[in-house]
Structure 1
Amino acid sequence: MPTATASTTVEDAVQRRRGDLIELSHSIHAEPELAFAEHRSCAKTQTLVAERGFQITSAPGGLDTAFRADFGSGSLVVGICAEYDALPGIGHACGHNIIAASAVGTALALAEVADELDLTVVLLGTPAEEAGGGKALMLEAGTFDDIAATVMLHAGPLDIARARSLALSQVAVEYIGREAHAAVAPYLGLNAADAITVSQVAIGLLRQQFAPGQMAHGIVTDGGQATNVIPARTEMHYTMRANDSGSLRELEGRMSDCFLAGAVATGCGHQVEATEPSYLELTPDQWLADVFRSEMVRFGRNPVGPEIEAAFPLGSTDMGNVTQIMPGIHPIVGIDAEGASIHQPAFAAAAAGPSADRAVIEGAVMLARTVVELAQTPAERDRVMASKAARA
């Protein structure tokens, strides 16, 4: 465990800023902003660390609502990810206000021991997790290149130290047919709406052969404009998920055949385009997750066992892309949402309640103490730094 001095220092630092951190969480919650438009939330998340003396780099990778805030000059560079985008219509039903505030608390706490632990603390403002893949874009831009390990947390209905997620890709499928009067001369048309119907029937039949962990879900975003006109253009969006990237690639190929079936059956043209970067599956670092689990227990939490961790992946996240290339964790810190889960309106309401406030403070302490232990455990410190060197 962390030394008494360092562990006490970071915990006390979080507790001293308790009011500021909860205020930040509530402020972000009160003004939800969607992917790549989180201008107010991005600015709010920077304020406390800027006042503490962190060096702010705005818009890394050209993303207007991203930032990087650095403190210290130690040889071990650790990143802490803050998310702050919301969901259309239901606001912070994924609790990203909790993520942002706890990340800020972690960064402020670690700044207190950065010199002592030969540590560089990096707070990363990562936009567009719900749609857009901000972390994937920042990785490609080199924003994470000098970081040895990255941590963050997420709110949820349970405490899960070693959370895992599914690989994900999203596509827009467009069908192009030909207009005709639906009653006078329908035979002159090519019905792009029928192409969607054929494709969705094919997908429905394919589901019986989905491998374990594979799933697909979609919506029609353009189904035509008038009932008496054969639709000449339609569009649908589909999300595909799987346990890992290899299984996802297989699913994408089979789904592609279903999309093609709609075009072949109706004579329409079709085009399939990715709408955002793929999200890779989370591969949490076992050692870091075990330390975080011990911190959960210290706070009187009851994290689920490994069998439940393995059996229940929690959606998809672009943090998976980060953990594919460096040690990292994305634990779930439970809040009381009266039975509701993420992406439900009741969870959005709970994300500014008392248990959410507790998650902000305890989460920041748990992440900070986990990083302290990493910095003070020579074998593990060397391991993550060697991992970074191997990427160079």
Structure 2
Amino acid sequence: MARDPEPPDPEAVYERVGREVAARADRLWEVSLALHSAPETAFEEREAARLLSGELEREGFRVERGVAGLPTAFTGRTGTGGGPCVALLLEYDALPLLGHACGHNLIAGAGLGAALAVRGALGGEVPGSLLAVGTPAEERGGGKAVEVEAGLFDGVDAALMFHPGVYDWVHAPLTASARVRVAFHGRAAHPTGNPTEGIDALGALIQLFNTLGVVERRFPSGSHVQGIITDGGRATNIVPEYAEGAFGLRGATTAALEELVEELHRCAAGVARATGTRVEVTRDGARYEHFRDNEVLSGRFARHLERAGIRLSEPVPGVYLGSSDIGNVSTRVPAIHPFVAIMGPDASDHTPEFAGAAAGPRGREVMLAAASALACTAVDVLLRPDVPGDAWACLRAKAEAGL
């Protein structure tokens, strides 16, 4: 009777991963620079999706485009099936006016490099499943949130990505966030001819801003509201009958975010009663859930990254660095989202300087190091039988603790 072949030795595969990434380094950087030089914003990433999915297809991945009903989303799959499933996540949307000032071109390059390196290091015989997932619209729109709801991550045992930043942190302290629109309806009138007939919708909206400014003093750490006026009337000699504001809300946890949304509803309703207006409060786009780091997987990524001389530390307590739709993935499957610095801590992303760094030598160095570390972490999930179970146990423990 023929015996099943022995599984590959992970330590030997790590070495092959390094060689695979090195062999592809120039091409991965060309892809990253191509994305950087032609930035595309949320749900408009047609050329980016074409380029990245084409690279996967040429190297033997089974590519499906337009997944989850999103024209610029895709998956590339390889493997024997019937075992662990690892998803490597590629972001590639850019910021309006600032281009790749969040470094998504490096995320895409690293995820692509990791996927190709794992397949190459295992000779095309990937045990289980290896999935490269194109995730559009992280900056606005929440492509991953849509993919989660569409079931794209069902059956995935590990979702892996990294993010360039200004800190070397083993995981990202990412808050939950939502966008809400508040519209007040009043009654138009001439401010001197018949002022008593008017109901000032803009005045109501301004009062809402003032009310939130008072109640925010009791918001818990990590929670805040930031708003802008998107419609304040049409003429100075007409009492505005309609006014609208857009509000961004963040909470340290998804539960804290929902409490904040309810607070906004209560404040808006109170203002409407006090001013005689009618108010509408509506969600605008997908909710981003808070990120749950999986220490089993992020610890392995950090150890692999040390081979490149980059050491990650724990985040500074109480410091939050925004929100991301990776949070929606991390509450369903074990996930990582480490930060690796391409600039110093005195700098910031979402700036022209950071966009420049994302096309500079440090950006290339970090992208390639992250590709190798992501690939080796994927190998751990695929080849070390204890890793998927430990990762799932970690996620379940956090969920049960409400973390």
Superposition CA RMSD, Å: 1.9
Alignment correspondent of 1:81: 89
Amino acid at match of 2:30: E
Alignment correspondent of 2:148: 139
Alignment correspondent of 2:59: 52
Alignment correspondent of 2:14: 7
Equivalent residues of 2:176, 2:254 under 8 A apart: yes
Alignment correspondent of 1:287: 296
Equivalent residues of 2:294, 2:391 under 8 A apart: no
Aligned partner of residue 340 in structure 1, secondary structure: coil
Alignment correspondent of 2:219: 210
CA distance, structure 2, for counterparts of residue 373 and residue 132 of structure 1: 32
Task: Summarize deviations over 1:339-388 as a string: whole Å, max 9, x none.
Answer: 32122222122211111111211110111111112323221134458999
Amino acid at match of 2:37: A
Alignment correspondent of 1:167: 176
Equivalent residues of 2:80, 2:125 under 8 A apart: no
Structure 1 residue 311: deviation in Å? 3.0
User: CA separation of 1:157/1:55 partners in 2, compared to 1, >3 Å: closer, same or farther?
Assistant: same
User: More deviation in 188-197 or 2-11?
Assistant: 2-11
Task: Map 1:344-363 onto structure 2 (within 5 A).
Answer: 344-363=351-370
1:19 matches 2:26: yes
TM-score scaled to structure 1, two decimals? 0.93
User: More deviation in 175-184 or 362-371?
Assistant: 175-184
Structure 1 residue 228: deviation in Å? 1.5
CA distance, structure 1, for counterparts of residue 118 and residue 51 of structure 2: 19
Equivalent residues of 1:163, 1:309 under 8 A apart: no
CA distance, structure 2, for counterparts of residue 116 and residue 373 of structure 1: 15
1:43 matches 2:47: no
Structure 1 residue 99: deviation in Å? 0.8
CA distance, structure 2, for counterparts of residue 274 and residue 53 of structure 1: 41
Q: Structure 1: give runs of 5+ residues left out of the alignment.
A: none
Alignment correspondent of 2:310: 301
One of 343, 366, 387 as aligned partner of 1:380: 387
User: More deviation in 326-335 or 29-38?
Assistant: 29-38
Alignment correspondent of 1:233: 242
Aligned partner of residue 255 in structure 2, secondary structure: helix
One of 319, 339, 348 as aligned partner of 1:332: 339
Amino acid at match of 1:51: R
Equivalent residues of 1:117, 1:376 under 8 A apart: no
The percent of aligned pairs where both chains have the same amino acid is 35
Task: Summarize deviations over 1:266-301 as a string: whole Å, max 9, x none.
Answer: 222111111112111111111111111112322212
1:90 matches 2:98: yes
Aligned partner of residue 16 in structure 1, secondary structure: helix
CA distance, structure 2, for counterparts of residue 229 and residue 302 of structure 1: 61
Task: Summarize deviations over 1:228-286 as a string: whole Å, max 9, x none.
Answer: 22112111111111111121121111121222233223222111111112111111111
Structure 1 residue 321: deviation in Å? 0.9
CA distance, structure 1, for counterparts of residue 98 and residue 277 of structure 2: 36
Equivalent residues of 1:177, 1:267 under 8 A apart: yes
Structure 1 residue 117: deviation in Å? 5.2
Aligned partner of residue 371 in structure 1, secondary structure: helix
Alignment correspondent of 1:224: 233
CA distance, structure 2, for counterparts of residue 338 and residue 329 of structure 1: 21
Amino acid at match of 1:281: H
1:252 matches 2:265: no
CA distance, structure 1, for counterparts of residue 317 and residue 51 of structure 2: 36
Structure 1 residue 309: deviation in Å? 4.7
Alignment correspondent of 1:269: 278
Aligned partner of residue 201 in structure 1, secondary structure: helix
Q: Structure 2: give runs of 5+ residues left out of the alignment.
A: 1-8, 396-403
Q: How many residues align?
A: 385
User: CA separation of 1:344/1:261 partners in 2, compared to 1, >3 Å: closer, same or farther?
Assistant: farther
Equivalent residues of 2:296, 2:390 under 8 A apart: no
Structure 1 residue 51: deviation in Å? 0.7
CA distance, structure 2, for counterparts of residue 184 and residue 15 of structure 1: 76
CA distance, structure 1, for counterparts of residue 185 and residue 142 of structure 2: 29
